[in-house]
């Protein structure tokens, strides 16, 4: 029986997605220059074939193939973060924040200001849209 590919990207696949989100369409040769390591052309090609089958990337039909992220950065991050919250933090975003701000990793004053700013913006949107609908 064939194994079903997991829908969540692996660490290597996330590295490729990060490059595609930041730089747009890339060939395998360009990805090899952009990725840490650098990985071999064969390993990048294998990852990309898997990512195409998962629906994470799409490619052009002509050689050299140019690969593009098939999901937006915002949607990809939202999905990954929700999976993390559900599987590791019992569905609780507050548990995630508490862990992030624990004594093991001190947040800089600038990070704390940014977090407060985001929370204030979120509270304003929640007050404007009490049903919690996305815009």
Residue 64 lies in a domain: yes
Q: Are residues 63 and 46 in the same domain?
A: yes
For residue 28, what are the CA distances in angstroms to 4, 47, 73, 122?
25, 10, 20, 39
As a whole number of angstroms, the distance between CA 114 and CA 108 comes to: 10
Q: How many domains does the chain have?
A: 2
Residues 95 and 122 in one domain: yes
Domain with 44 in it: 11-69
- The tens-digit pLDDT sequence of the chain (135 residues) is 455 555 678 899 999 999 999 999 999 999 999 999 889 999 999 999 999 999 999 999 999 999 999 999 999 999 899 999 999 999 998 898 888 877 667 778 898 899 899 989 989 888 876 655 544
Residue written as tokens 């548990």?
A: 95
pTM for the structure as a whole = 0.75
* Domain-ending residue, one of 27, 54, 69: 69
CA angle 95, 131, 72 (to 5 degrees): 65
């Amino acid at each position: 029986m064939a194994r079903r590919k997991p829908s969540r990207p692996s660490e290597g696949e996330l590295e490729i997605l990060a490059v595609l989100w930041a730089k747009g369409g890339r060939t395998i040769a360009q990805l090899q220059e952009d990725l840490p390591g650098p990985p071999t052309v064969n390993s990048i090609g294998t990852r990309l074939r898997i990512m195409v089958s998962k629906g994470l990337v799409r490619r052009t039909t002509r050689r050299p193939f140019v690969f593009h992220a098939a999901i937006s950065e915002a949607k990809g991050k939202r999905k990954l973060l929700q999976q993390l919250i559900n599987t590791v933090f019992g569905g609780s975003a507050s548990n995630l924040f508490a862990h992030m701000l624990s004594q093991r990793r001190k947040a800089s004053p600038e990070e704390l200001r940014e977090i407060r700013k985001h929370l204030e913006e979120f509270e304003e949107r929640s007050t404007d849209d009490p049903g919690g609908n996305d815009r």
